[in-house]
Amino acid sequence: MDKAATAAPEHPGTRTVRRSLRSAATGRFRAWAARRQGRDALPVAIHRRRIYILPTRFGLMLAGLLLAMLLAGLNYNSNLGLAYAFLMFGLTLVAMHHCHRNLLGLEVDISLESDAFAGTYAAFPCLLGNASALERIDIEAQLGAEQGQPAVTSVRARGRERLILEIPVQRRGVVRIARLELATRQPLGWFRAWTYVHVPLTVYVAPSPRGERPLPTSSGNRGRAAPAAEARGDEDFAGLRAYAPGVPLKHMAWKVLARGQDAAVRSYTSVVAEPQWLEWSLLEGLEVETRLSQLCRWVLECHRLQRTYGLRLPGIEIPPSQGAAHRTECLRALALYGAADA
Amino acid sequence: MKAAQAPATSVQLRWLCACLALALAPHLTSLPPWLIGVTAAFVVLRLALAARQRPPPPKLLRLALAAIALALLWLQYRTFNGLEAGTALLCLVAGLKFLETQSRRDLYVLTFIVYFLGLAALLRGESFWLLGYLVGVAWLTSATLLHLTPARPLEALPSARRAGRILAQALPIALVLWLLFPRFDGPLWQLSSEARAQSGLSDTLSPGDITELALSSEIAFRVHFLGATPPPGARYWRGPVLHQFDGRAWRGIDSSAARVSHLRLSGAAYRYRLSLEPHAHRWVFTLDWPASWSLPKALLTSDEVLMQPEPILDTLDVVASSFSVARPARPLGADERARDTALPPASNPRTGELAQRLWQAHPRDVEYVRAVLALFHDQPFYYTLTPPRLEQNPTDEFLFETRRGFCGHYASAFAQLMRAAGLPARVVTGYLGGTYNRFANYWIVRQSDAHAWTEVWLEGRGWTRIDPTSAVAPERVERGVNDTVAADEPLASRWQRHTPWLADLRLELDALHEWWRERILRYDSGLQLRLLRALHVPDPDAQKLVILLGIGLGLVLGWLTWQVRRETRPADVDPVQRAYARLCRKLAAVGLERRAFEGPLSFATRVGAARPDLKAVVQGLCDLYAGLRYGPPLERASVVRSTFIAAVRAFHPPRRPLGAGAR
């Protein structure tokens, strides 16, 4: 039917109506399932009471076929025909059970937070664990309602499979995703079993990094330009100092740790270089989003150049530091800027 | 629905092509050859395109091809209804669908066609092997379906194994449904008669037109004699009686008028249970001469043929009794005499002359009959199933030229010779003989046992059966047709006949075959009620059947659910770990639960402190476990492992320390 609709563009209306009816129905069903199941605590083991199953389009076709087979067998009084029809009926029931089984007892774990830039994809690493001796073939995982990119994987017997689930994010801000949906059409494609995992997934969508302005030359409060040569002096090893959380992992002195001594960090000359302040006030006269985009680009650039930088937004000040954690903190501050809970 | 629109790969197409070919194989004999050719061409064309990574031919071309093929099909059948035309249509649709197959969606539709083709074959066929074959095809099709969903292609062998598992689990469901699903006695709606064309006797006999009598081994009926079995020469099964002769063919008359029997029956009586295969006519075969029968609506005609009021379209079971000797209770009526001595003028003149000559030599009826039989016996007449074709005056040609024929030729010629001499004569068709199955104590009468003989009215004796074939080939009467035609038959069957163990095997197979027919193919509401009685269901009826079906389905589905859930339980990899878990369960049952943080050694210490009586055993077992699991590799580890497992199994901690109860 779909094919006919694509071939004959004079009926696009029926298609949209059908689709909107369908999405309204699924929307209500999802809301009901969310109320029924409540919020989940990770990791979630897929219990049978949270697996839903319905025939696919082919399953409905099969139902028609089974009815035709039954009528034919009865009408021709053919016991062999009936035996065959009943075997097909049994096959359908077993396929339904196997479809349901394919999700049963799976263990799902997923990271709750993710960072992304507007206009790209947010990625959530997800772990599917299978403790049984049964291979789980073709598990489709999808974030959100329909927006997420479906990912398909199979989980070996007594194995685990790591998946990266992606969902597109358009605008800066915080995106909350209410659910993770796992589905399968195995074994014969006649049924689709699915389950919802209701965990609060959060994406901090930083502004898309844009803007042509160069990194501010004045270090804000000092009003003195940081010499470029000094900034690049990162590689000069200056000695070890005690570990403090937030230090870039690549500066860890692993060998020292391995010897059983206290954790230490290698320090470099530029680590002690003057901090670079990225300030909201430097971008006077630009639109809010443009300003944020420019700041975002600067954060990334400072991070790339391994500078020590701080961020000042109206009402927020992130003291100068370095490393991935610091970068995330800055980006989240940009993402949350202007939001109600910021 | 993205998955459904994914393109079909060449491998998937090839798998499906195999399924389609196998599903069409049982239909090959019934489909017109051009249709098979067209379907095969479509399939090959699509496969060739797929191998070159090319899309299907353009839509316009496909539509044109479809229109032409459908028109041809219509010309062939003039209908798309009924089993044969429907199957042909299905075959054509499968070919067209294959040609346009592009996405997985199309492949799914094709698998449904393949499944349905299997059913269509079973509506026609009845053999066990066909069922097995088609279940195999369904298996392969399901394995193909397994290829359609995965993102990563499955291997052939594992998918066949998975499909086999699914099929195996479906069998109990199918069995319960098949046994207990209510059967209706008639069809839901009337079928076109085309589907039920039957072979067998008809009420015409024209031996001159037949050049080869096909020996169909199809079963006409089966007989179980209740008591004595008649000798071979008395096993004439009476069917339609033919009165009218037009020079070429004998025809029956409409003798539906029933009457009280005018025969006085005597001689040996035989009782038998006969189960008649459907033959789409009204007559019921009985042994000469029928006296009583268990069919309330059936009537005996003036020709002593038992008739049902409606054509027989289903297996008919009848218990009847017959007497071997019959005497008339009244003389032959004038109109009957006229009817049974009539011969068409100006046909077969030499036969008439021969009759006149013989009658002048033997003017008494019994002598005349003997003389004609002697003629058949003494002259070089031959019994054959492949007689030459007879032209203008068939009886003349047969008697004076070819002298080769089967029972129909002899009966026809004999009856004409009788009539030409003024003796009332008629041709009786039916069956003679049969094969005894000593493995199940019944007689099988096949279409190849069909026979024709004559009855002549002799004064004082009435209608007397005379079998002219016996004068030519007495062994036909004594032993049956298979022993008679030794000269004509192919070598293989003669070899079978001379190999007794093989004949036994055939009979045993036939007994199995009969069981299949009786119990499987003829399984109906009556047998369902018998099954219920065997299950000790009081007062079985259709309602209880449905209840039992519900219970049976519930049980089977419960079993399936249990099977399915069991497989999803976490699987312990290591039997040692499993045994340790068992040990912990046993100790927990007596109130010594292992805490989550406790290792085997600290657990054992705690158990030893709480229950000194268990201390030695538990500490030993836990030490063993710790050694096996965390210690360095042991010598003869497998022995230690099995010792540990066996010791855990044998360990039964008492609820209280021994002796505690006495205090």
pLDDT band at A4 (very low <50, low <70, confident <90, very high): very low
For residue B490, the model assigns a pLDDT of 39
pLDDT band at A227 (very low <50, low <70, confident <90, very high): very low
B-chain CB neighbours of A133 within 8 Å are 567, 571
The rounded percent of chain B whose pLDDT value lies above 70 is 88
**Mean pLDDT, residues A198-202:** 89
What DSSP string runs through B260-296? ---EEEEEEEEEEEEEEPP-SSSEE-EESSEEEES-T
pLDDT digits (tens, 9 = 90+) for B435-491: 787 777 888 888 878 888 999 998 888 888 888 888 777 776 655 555 444 333 433
Which residues in chain A touch residue B187, judged by CB atoms under 8 angstroms apart? 74-77
Would the CB atoms of A83 and B191 count as touching at under 8 Å? no
Question: Which among B372, B374, B344 is positioned nearest to B356, based on CA atoms?
Answer: B372
Q: What is the pLDDT of residue B261?
A: 58
For residue range A256-273, list pLDDT tens digits in order: 778 877 777 776 655 445
pTM of the predicted structure, to 2 decimals: 0.66
Does B171 sit within 8 Å of A93, measured CB to CB? no
Give pLDDT tens digits for B298-355.
888 888 888 888 888 877 889 999 988 888 877 888 888 888 888 888 788 888 888 8
Q: Encode pLDDT of B110-120 as tens digits.
A: 999 999 999 99
Interface-testing mutation among B166, B173, B568, B577, with chain A (most A C-beta atoms within 10 A):
B568
| DSSP H or E stretch at residue A125 | strand A120-130
User: Strands across the sheet with B290-293, in order?
Assistant: B290-293, B316-328, B263-276, B219-226, B442-446, B435-437
Q: Does B4 score more than 60 pLDDT? A: no
pLDDT at position B216 over 70? no
Q: Å from A133 to nearest chain B CA?
A: 5
pLDDT tens-digit readout, B11-25:
888 889 999 999 999
**C-beta atoms of B149 and A57 within 8 A:** no
With a CB-CB cutoff of 8 Å, which residues 236-295 of chain A face chain B?
Answer: none
Range in B175-179, B242-246, B514-518, B605-609 the model is least confident about: B514-518
Q: How confident is the model at residue A228 (pLDDT cuts 50, 70, 90)?
A: very low
Tell me the per-residue pLDDT of B593-610, one tens digit each, with 9 for 90 and over.
Answer: 888 888 889 999 999 888
Long-range contacts of B612-617 (CB under 8 A, 24+ apart): B612/B657, B613/B654, B613/B657, B613/B658, B614/B653, B617/B651
User: pLDDT band at B198, cuts 50/70/90?
Assistant: very low
A130: closest chain B residue by CA: B570
Is residue A128 very low, low, confident or very high in pLDDT (cuts 50, 70, 90)? Answer: very high
CB distance B166–A187 less than 8 Å? Answer: yes
pLDDT tens track for B275-287: 888 888 888 999 8
pLDDT of residue B486: 37
ipTM > 0.90 for the complex? no
The span from the CA of A185 to the CA of B146, in Å, is: 10
pLDDT (0 to 100) of residue B346: 79
Q: Sign of the C-alpha dihedral, residues A27, A32, A37, A41?
A: positive
Closest-CA residue to B448 (of B480, B470, B409, B405): B480
Q: Which residue of A has its CA nearest to B139?
A: A91
Give the pLDDT band (50/70/90) at residue B214.
low
Q: Tokens 């379907």: give the residue.
A: B39
What is residue B164's predicted lDDT score, i.e. its pLDDT? 93
Interface test mutation site (partner B, options A65, A87, A92, A97, max chain B beta carbons within 10 A): A87
Q: Give the whole-angstrom CA distance, residue B446 versus residue A237.
A: 105
Q: For B330, list phi and psi in degrees, rounded to 5.
A: -150, 160
Phi, psi (degrees; rounded to nearest 5) at A289 = -65, -35
**In the block, residue with structure tokens 């029933």:** B258
Question: What pLDDT was estimated at residue B435?
Answer: 79
* Contact between A90 and B123 using a beta-carbon 8 Å cutoff: no
Bridge-partner residues for A115, per DSSP?
Answer: A204
Chain B residues within an 8 Å CB radius of A2: 1, 5, 105
DSSP B571: P
Instruction: Select which of B340, B467, B513, B622 is catalytic.
Output: B467
Q: What is the pLDDT of residue B153?
A: 64
User: Does the pLDDT of residue B385 top 90, yes or no?
Assistant: no
pLDDT tens-place string over residues A214-224: 777 654 444 44
Please name the helix (run of DSSP H) or strand (run of DSSP E) that holds residue A85, with its range, or none: helix A79-103
Question: B119 vs A84: CB contact, 8 Å cut-off?
Answer: yes
